[in-house]
């Protein structure tokens, strides 16, 4: 890899660290190509990405960024998992690490906040962005449905009373 390619990789990594909602660092020693492809596919489905880069280049990209604390985690065979959604990458890596002991979570970064392995697990346990939006919409829609039911209830009560009166008159 020549100097121009290295500079390009450093720039790409800088963009990743700057624009991602969460970055998770893990060791992947011993994983097969098929296992790594499976991890990449799961991450892609969740809207994230997986990147293997030289630790030295990643450390250069981290200099002066909010995620600079990640530099301490970059030793050995590391893989970076990231997503714009602050929960997606952590959730996928945590789930994958449960089924594959070769993937060992070292920590991560969420914005300017450093995460240890327990912090990554805590982020993974949070509801995703879509789940939060759905629950908010449900909370907003519930009162409207209750109001519509309350408004419609007197009319249905009157109709049933009129039906009862009519039946009495017929009898």
Q: Specify the range with the lowest mean pLDDT, choosing from 21-25, 89-93, 108-112.
A: 108-112
Closest by CA to 123, choosing from 171, 114, 63, is 114
pLDDT of residue 51: 92
CA dihedral sign of residues 146, 148, 151, 152: negative
* Cβ atoms of 65 and 17 closer than 8 Å: yes
Cα(13)–Cα(25) distance, rounded to whole angstroms? Answer: 13
- Output the pLDDT for position 150: 62
**How much is the pLDDT for 156?**
66
Give pLDDT, residue 94: 93
pLDDT at 153 over 80: no
The 10s digit of each residue's pLDDT in 43-76 is 999 999 999 989 999 999 888 787 888 888 899 9
Region class of 16: left (phi > 0), else alpha (psi between -120 and 50), else beta: alpha
> Residue 103 pLDDT more than 90?
yes
On the question of pLDDT at 79 being above 90, the answer is yes
The larger pLDDT score, comparing residue 111 to residue 39, is at 39
**Higher pLDDT, residue 30 or 135:** 30
CA distance 117 to 133: 27
The 10 Å CB-count burial string (b at 16+, else e) for 33-72 is eebbeebbebbeebebbbbebeeebbbbbbeebebebbbe
């Amino acid at each position: 890899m020549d100097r121009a390619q290295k500079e390009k990789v450093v720039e790409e990594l800088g963009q990743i660290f700057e624009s991602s909602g969460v970055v998770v660092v893990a060791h992947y020693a011993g994983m097969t190509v098929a296992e790594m492809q499976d991890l990449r596919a799961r991450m892609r489905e969740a809207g994230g990405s997986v990147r293997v880069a030289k630790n030295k280049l990643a450390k250069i990209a981290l200099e002066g960024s909010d995620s600079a604390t990640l530099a301490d985690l970059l030793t050995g065979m590391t893989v970076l998992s990231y997503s714009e959604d602050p929960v997606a990458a952590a959730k996928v890596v945590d789930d994958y690490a449960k089924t594959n002991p070769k993937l060992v979570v070292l920590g991560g970064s969420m914005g300017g906040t450093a995460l240890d392995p327990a912090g990554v697990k805590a982020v993974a346990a949070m509801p995703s962005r879509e789940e939060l939006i759905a629950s908010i919409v449900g909370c907003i829609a519930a009162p409207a449905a209750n109001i519509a039911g309350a408004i419609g209830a007197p009319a249905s009560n009157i109709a049933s009373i009129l039906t009862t009166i009519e039946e009495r008159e017929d009898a």
